[in-house]
Structure 1
Amino acid sequence: MSVSALTPSPIAEDNGDTLIEFSDNRLLIDLCGEFDRNLAQIEHALDVHIQRRGNLLTLHGEAPARARAAEVLTALYARLEAGRGIDSGAIDGAIRIGAGEEGAARFPGEQMELFSGGRVELRTRRKIVEPRTQAQRAYVANLFKHELNFGIGPAGTGKTYLAVAVGVTMFIAGQVDKIILSRPAVEAGERLGFLPGDMKEKVDPYMQPLYDALGDFLPGKQLARLMEEKRIEIAPLAFMRGRTLSNAFIVLDEAQNATAMQMKMFLTRLGEGSRMVVTGDRSQVDLPRGVASGLGDAERLLKSVEGVGFSYFTARDVVRHPLVARIIEAYDADDRGE
């Protein structure tokens, strides 16, 4: 018996167990992982038990869990057969999203292979980025669909990371001429003048997460050259005043720390041929007491405006350490008085 790597259905049922046979033992070794740690991750997440004997994997557990595990295993095997490796992140993504789902819609730039075969891929110079949850998948779709998008939710859900990945993808494809990343430097406040160095050195610590994201997607020398040529800019929100940003992919991160006036100023910078993304976490406002967050204001005013997309994330979409999701849930429960 054998099964095609692209077939998401199990090959056999035997006395309440699911049996899957894989034709390439070398790929099966990679699928299982060192000391079967990949199988252990799937077992823990889906409440199944997986036994390996030769080229055969036997799945024990409830029927829905076995079917889900079989789908995940065959999707990961197909990934290996296509010459792509798997790690804990890829496994987590396969578990959360699954294989063969609906929604293989097309977006600008066929070379990006977005949503082909039900899969979402963002190809940058250094890595391929894939959404790991349904909310992330919908968010990426919105980033290509709308000219202005809001990503709202807790830390660790990939709001900024995916936005920068889409920006780099569109930049590489020639759909935009530049990338502009911005953040309010709220934490600096009156202390900014006391920090050492010139203005760039004063504000760079607050921009570091944006530098980190770009560094994941572009080689260091290329990134430095593009920044020197001003084709990639990282600047505080205040530096956006008076500009018209055309043919650019623009990201405003930590937008909950922008005032209503700053938010209006930023949104009206949008020029011809540009796309704009605003990300923020309403639970982490650092503005002075009594100063309203521009993120909530924009959400209220623009909710029904044509061409504006909103994506929302919860603790279930956290892709950092699993403990982060539990911490967020605990704080959310406390806010609700539970």
Structure 2
Amino acid sequence: MQPMAINNQRRKLLKSSLGAITLSPWLTACSSAPNSDKNAVLISCSRTANGHFGAVVADNEGNPIHSVPLPARGHGVAITPNGELAVAFARRPGNYMQLFNIKTGVSYPITPSMPNRYFYGHGVFSSDGLTLYTTEGEKETSQGVIGVYQLQGTQLIKVKEFSGFGIGPHEVIRVDNMTLAIGVGGVHTKGRVPLNLESMKPALVYLSTSSGEVLERVGLADHKLSIRHLSLMDDGRVLCGQQYRGEPEDGVPLIAVHRRGEALQQLNAEPEEWLRFNHYIASIAVLGDHVVATSPRGNCYGVWNLKNKQLIEIASLADASGVVVNSRDNLLPQWHISSGTGKVITRSENGEMVSHQTNVMWDNHWSQIPPTVI
């Protein structure tokens, strides 16, 4: 299936699903007053039926508490470890990031990209919450940059950059206080049009947080597997979800796991099962011995057993978007899985599920708010 056909299919799914939902004043206004009766648990970027965009603070079931308007489509959200502030990043190739207060919904002045830079949709705070690391790229070359920003009051001030690790970085996570992991997609683009598919060099790269030195770099045998989305496991291993840039009929593995000093190991499924994900993994989250990965293009999510690396289930979910593990409030840890049609699924590791319908068109990623915010 060609990309344009995929996009049209997603639009039709969203339109038909939203037709049965009554849009609330919150959705059409794109902002709201905080609801103090609910606990803030989740944050995601969103889209609205009338063409607006926002970052949504939601409760445990995905019901919106308040939202922050965004000037264009957002993507990932970074949260300070104390749970007070968050930053929503523009979808690549983007030109803004928006800092806001999680508890009040108050937003602060937009931080624009530098004239010769794009934001690539993701970032992560240091453990003390004073430094923000963002994925960026040079406009003309897509050479990767990690922007390093200091949080000064309610301003993000760029203090330095790390570069020289590859083309087209996407998600960045903090492995520990001294190490970042970056999904380097390897794709040079003009806007969103790829220009170097035959020569792309994706990689999972580890950088020093202090110097930007490349500490380790690993890749996959198939150079058209663009490494994009990451998740950190409790034992320090990193999971990465891929976007395949090869032939439409190829059913190739889209998820791999990495332990420092070793090779990437791919998770297993049959080729026809991999094709169900339509060559794209959007979000990935680990709970115990299992991983859930979503695919909005495949309208599904998958569950793998990490002990034997085998796929155990593919579940249909129209425009499957974000997934995050909620381990708050003395509850058993569970996945929260969102959809662009507003559906929110809460799922335990043993497979028990509860489904909620919200009035939010969730975008590709969810972040859990630390329990310090009440």
Structure with higher Rg: it is 1
Higher RCO by CA contacts (8 Å cutoff, separation 6 or greater): 1
TM superposition score normalised by structure 1: 0.28
Q: Which has the larger share of helix?
A: 1
TM-score (structure 2 length as normaliser): 0.26
